[in-house]
Amino acid sequence: MKKKILRMDNGKAVYDNQNSLTAGPRGPVLMQDILLMEKLAHFDREEIPERIVHAKGAGAHGTFTVTNDITAYTKASIFSEIGKVTETFTRFSTVGGERGSADTARDPRGFATKFYTDEGNWDLVGNNTPVFFIRDPLKFPDFIHTQKRLPDSNLKSNEMVWDFWSKSPESLHQITTLFSNRGTPDGYRHMNGYGSHTYSFINGKNERFWVKFHLKTVQGIKNLRSDEAVRLAGENPDYATQDLFEAIEAGDFPKWTMYVQIMPETDAESYPINPFDVTKVWPHADYPLIEVGVLELNRNPENYFAEVEQAAFSPTNKVPGIGFSPDKMLQGRLFSYPDTQRYRLGVNYNLLPINRPKIEVENGYRNGFMRFDDNGGNRPNYEPNATGEPAEAAGVDEPPLKVCGDADRYAYDSDENSDFAQAGALYRLMPKNEQEDLINNLAGSMRGVREEIVETALEFFYKADSGYGSALAKKLGITR
């Protein structure tokens, strides 16, 4: 029987479905990657407007206060002086479940904050883990499909999940985090947040630095063991939502300290770990944490739909002094996030009160669904024009990003072992009781999955750490 060929919607055969089209091995993703654009655009519209991912969530208003001077690295006004306060809105969420799913499910947690700065809105859109399962956006719709429901039974499938992971070795670092007790945090107040991706800072001298963002909970890390998480899912599926709301209502305002890791731009060329690979962390010994400020949540929403459900976050929302990087997953999100918001809420979603910047915006955009202001009046909606307004801004440009290489579909430039080294190191950092919980959680998820898939996945665990692999194999009753 002739094997079916992977094709695009127009019938064009796909020759590489693993790697996005970039300018050189470490260059940014190209808009001419029509396969990537088609996959992401189709994925963004696969469901009627519940969020495709991060559907179940809770949020609160707050403030961000600068506590340390980082103006040597960035000219962003939000960080311009110690003591400066900026209004914020933060939304927490699970990733794979629907709006009615349990808050305590084993799942990464979204951690997204909108900073209403005096230069416009900056969104830091991240998770409670510093890494992710995949590092190329071309694989993102496929990955999320494994977390959704089967078309026949409408049930979730561990076999789909492990089938994909067993063919994606870069996933092991995040898998190790997810199946540890950090995969079921005790509410939203007791978990960290991470930008995960590599971003850039631009300083007043127009110098570029690579940066990673960390938000460390002041309340301390608290996690649930698997049995506790399952019990709470049955007793109170809105456990984390209730905990956050009631804490703020009682005046017990949760706080997180923001830190950054800073890498000089030229370090990326020789650093042994690809600094744009979101499945890897930067060791703190090489790039230590630098304190920046404190995020505090101190006001509950008055209307969940208007403020939490309609909140729209995107990494494209940035301000002068904060920029992007050649991180392929980040580049894919720059298209996918605003695209899915336009589908879910309409093209004018940034005019909604929860998303609207605190400063006046003039850009010539007109019409579209749900336009509820004066639609720009009779002012010119083109530029340049005789009035000279709106005018281009000076001093907000970024230094050129050096890009070289032939446009092609490149795998990440890391050897196979690098996909397992940090996962093994994370396993060895865990105390014995947490290692045992990790093994129990993994084994519970893998039971019932086809033997050949389990065997393939086990190879990754052995490569990360022989003890890791052996303990999991023993728990599964597999003799090697």
Active site positions, annotated: 54, 127
Residues near 418 by beta carbon (within 8 Å), at least 6 away in sequence: 273, 280
Assigned token pair, 240:
């984390």
Task: State the virtual CA torsion across 33, 38, 40, 41 in degrees, nearest 10.
Answer: 130
Q: Which phi and psi (to 5°) does residue 459 adopt? A: -55, -35
Name 116's bridge partners: 121
Helices 418-429 and 466-476, interaxial angle, to 10°?
80
Neighbours of 284 (CB within 10 A): 11
Region of 95 on the Ramachandran plot (φ > 0 left; ψ -120 to 50 alpha; else beta): alpha
Angle at the Cα of 337 from the Cα atoms of 333 and 340, rounded to 5 degrees: 135
d(Cα 410, Cα 171) in Å, to the nearest integer? 18
Degrees to nearest 5, angle at CA 16 with 11 and 22: 115
